[in-house]
Amino acid sequence: MKSAYELAMERLNKAAPAVKLTNAQKKQLADLDSKYAAKTAGREIALKDEITKAAQSGEVEKVEQLEQRLLNERKKLQAELEEKKEALRRKTR
């Protein structure tokens, strides 16, 4: 007798079969993760330096703007990463 989990997994696989990725595709996904982690780190370093300078000079409004910019850039880079990863996964279908 199958468990509820096993039955649910069977139904899920019938509705949307799992995509099998090749080793090359897995490597490309890992490379994308690494590339975007580096991009994100670079932007964080640059903006945190600006945030620190603005905070030291007492520019509270500028600090808030820079923090918001940092947040927006992180979201943008994450969205780009997910878009590229999804495009790579679609190639296998």
> Does 3 reside within a domain?
no
35 located within any domain: yes
Residue 57 lies in a domain: yes
Q: Which pLDDT does position 21 carry in this prediction?
A: 81
Into how many domains does the chain fold?
1
Q: Is the residue at 48 inside a domain?
A: yes
Q: What global pTM score does this model have?
A: 0.73
Domain residue limits at 73: 23-90
User: Which residues lie closer than 8 Å to 76 by C-beta, 6 or more apart?
Assistant: none
Q: Is residue 70 part of a domain?
A: yes
The whole-angstrom separation of Cα 28 and Cα 8 is 31
Evaluate whether residue 13 is within a structural domain: no
> pLDDT of 26-73, one tens digit each?
999 999 999 999 999 999 999 999 999 999 999 999 999 999 999 999
Q: Which two tokens stand for residue 59?
A: 């520019």
Contact 90, 75 (CB under 8 A): no
Q: What are phi and psi of 17, to 5 degrees?
A: -60, 145
CB 77 within 8 A of CB 39: yes
In a domain? residue 58? yes
Beta-carbon count within 10 A of 39 CB:
14
